[in-house]
Structure 1
């Protein structure tokens, strides 16, 4: 066996060449354990086809799927001070930022873009959980404020996709200051008479839930999303009671009035477009209806000649 393992196999590998198999070729469904082909999952907007589990989706992928024809114009976001507190834990904060910027291709956790959904012009802001857990720091706060400013200047509705673990601890009090700043920015959109719709994705927790994520005119949640301020374990230890099944999940919150509706990711665009037409008093979208097939007429028999 040693001869086969140590000589024959390496020789065959060197002759035939080693086939490289991508590590993310298959992705495991977190609920059922089913293995799903990466390309199939990506084509389905990161929703597991059989179970319907909504997995996390990148900000750029979400915007491409949300806007008409995937066309949008990304906003130039304000620059902020990098590592103002000179924070360091197991590694320097500036090194963490470099790592996540290289990994995601984003400057920070929020993207802002303008475009159209079903021919309705809107401004959208998306938090990407892949960038440091979608945490809210100074850059993310500035992005939300910028999104509100663009919405007011262009007189467009603002749609925000929230997904975050909370405030960014590496920025301390400067991160917490973004809660009132973003709240004021959202209020400016409402004062301008423009709709503000929030889509709560998995997870939306901490300071984000305590500020702009729960100030929408309408709150839509994706199925199975975890939404809350403190974690379930912290709440149980505080009240010394067992929480009910499904607590802090979008379906439970809709039943108890915290969320207005739970909408499948594939139906978000159409649902938001209908809501915006109602809120902006625009006519409903005309739907072309094909004419119903007419029943075939029986041929009339020719009269027999005398």
Structure 2
């Protein structure tokens, strides 16, 4: 792999002529004669004074603070001087409320400085955390190689993390492993592609695509929203046809019914897909993305009806990925939209041992306590704990043929009647259809289908996007304290309300 130098990468990514260095001469560190000579040779070889450059530039017109390593300078290793430079830049970015892009390539800690260099990773991490606590974006592009303490600290904390194709990325460098254990590290493990397959990074993209990805991410995260009066956004409730609950169940299971992917494709103005839990799991049953509906940005968690199969139902990994999305929403101060469309969470030994029940509970707890605006959309099937995990929100919307039930009607029939023949009756008795949910105060608005979303996919998805844009606008303008109080009260009163038609 041909490795780009730090200046070459900057020339590729930032707008021409906009780079402004923030670097001051590196602080003096204790160095014996041998180390001092190494530093001098590294400076002469690279034309740089340390292994990191910091500064600010525009990327597609967006002013962005940047940290970039130079592997040619002692393997991009981080010592006290490099650590101090990084921390100073991160803190300045926080003060100036700038998004931060990190471009590491490093063997990790600078061995010549030992433990004092090792502990720089704590200081750098603390500065990154303060930046994120200020609700400012932190984007990471892992280059080859990125290993050791750099990967195990500021290289693994991005809101969005991309890696260079074929990049060697891992905790323990393969040369160190071989020396310690007298055998080579297993091939194919410490690669960008393998990390992506295991949900540890969001994408693998070449350097010439990085500017576009950064632009898209910041367009979603940092774009200002138009101010509007919530009073002007009051929805018009259309009268709903009296469709039997079982008809909605059947409609929700049609193979050609549009799901979350179609909603994003037809109605979102920007989408940046993310990947996995960041902790070694990917579940195809859930989509996590940064999305804009019109001018309204959000973090979107969508149960993907096409990613869930009888062989691979929604598992605990999907809920851990959902919780990553909830944390992202909180850290970036973005609204959260959840899309519910599941035949039910996995019922298996692996799901039980993987902590499915606990993850459902933790999702509910996170949803209840999130400070940011939240919307849940019941798009299709809403079965069991997998649906319950994503339902507690400020606003709950439902497609006309969306439904919500503790079990599929067949399961409820099996419990009460010891057969599944009574499933249509159970669907009616349990009040699972959208009109029943609206009457009982569980749902705030039903999005009509004419007569079935599968028969008007594009129009339906556009309609859903318009409602999401409107509701995001209303919630964005609402008083936070009142909104959180209203959220708590809505679940307190469920089951205590008189039917709307009484």
Normalising by structure 2, we get a TM-score of 0.43
2:87·2:127 contact (CA, 8 Å) conserved in 1? yes
Aligned to 1:65: 12
Task: Tell me how far apart the structure 2 counterparts of residues 153 and 77 of structure 1 sit (CA, whole Å).
Answer: 18
| Residues in 2 aligned to 1:282 and 1:248: alpha-carbon distance in whole angstroms | 39
- Equivalent residues in 2 for 1:31-42 (5 A)? none
Match of 1:197 among 120, 127, 139: 139
What does 1:20-31 correspond to in 2, within 5 Å?
Answer: none
2:32 is matched with 87
Is the 8 Å Cα contact of residues 110 and 117 (structure 2) preserved in structure 1? yes
> Relative to structure 1, is the Cα distance of residues 266 and 179 closer, same or farther in structure 2, using a 3 angstrom cutoff?
same
Residue 79 (structure 1) shift: 3.4
Contact 1:77–1:142 (8 Å) recurs in 2: no
**2:199 corresponds to which of 222, 247, 257:** 257
Aligned length: 227
* Conserved 8 A contact 1:78-1:139: no
Write the deviation string for residues 258-300 of structure 1: whole angstroms up to 9, x where unpaired: 1111011111100111011112245879xxxxxxxxxxxxxxx
Q: TM-score, normalised by structure 1?
A: 0.69
What is the CA deviation profile of residues 89-143 of structure 1, one whole-angstrom value per residue up to 9, with x for unaligned ones? xxx1111111111111111000011110111110001000000000010111012
Matched, 1:187 2:92: no
Q: CA deviation at 1:237?
A: 8.9
Is 1:141 aligned with 2:83? yes
- In the TM superposition, what are the counterparts of 1:264-283 in structure 2 within 5 Å? 264-282=206-224
Q: Is the 8 A contact 2:26 2:50 kept in 1?
A: no
Alpha carbons of structure 1 residues 109 and 235: separation in structure 2 relative to 1, 3 Å: closer
Give the Cα–Cα distance (whole angstroms) in 2 for the partners of residues 180 and 256 of structure 1: 26
User: How far apart, in 1, do the equivalents of 2:47 and 2:134 lie?
Assistant: 34
Shift of 1:232: 3.9
SS in structure 1 at match of 2:170: coil
Is residue 214 from structure 1 mapped to residue 156 from structure 2 by the alignment?
Answer: yes
Match of 2:56 among 83, 89, 114: 114
Q: Using the alignment, how far apart are the partners of 1:175 and 1:93 within structure 2?
A: 14
Measured at CA, do residues 207 and 124 of structure 1 come closer, stay the same or move farther in structure 2, by a change above 3 Å?
A: same
The 8 Å contact of residues 159 and 198 in structure 1, kept in 2 or not, is answered as: yes
Higher relative contact order (CA 8 A, sep 6+): 1
SS where residue 115 of structure 1 aligns? strand
- C-alpha change, 1:129 and 1:277, in structure 2 (3 Å) is same
Q: Any conservation in 2 of the 1:59–1:128 contact (CA below 8 Å)? A: yes
| Matches of 1:182 and 1:77, distance apart in 2 | 17
- What are the ranges of 5 or more consecutive residues in structure 2 without an aligned counterpart? 226-268, 271-502
Whole-Å separation in 2 of the counterparts to 1:98 and 1:244: 36
8 Å contact 1:151–1:157 — kept in the other structure?
yes
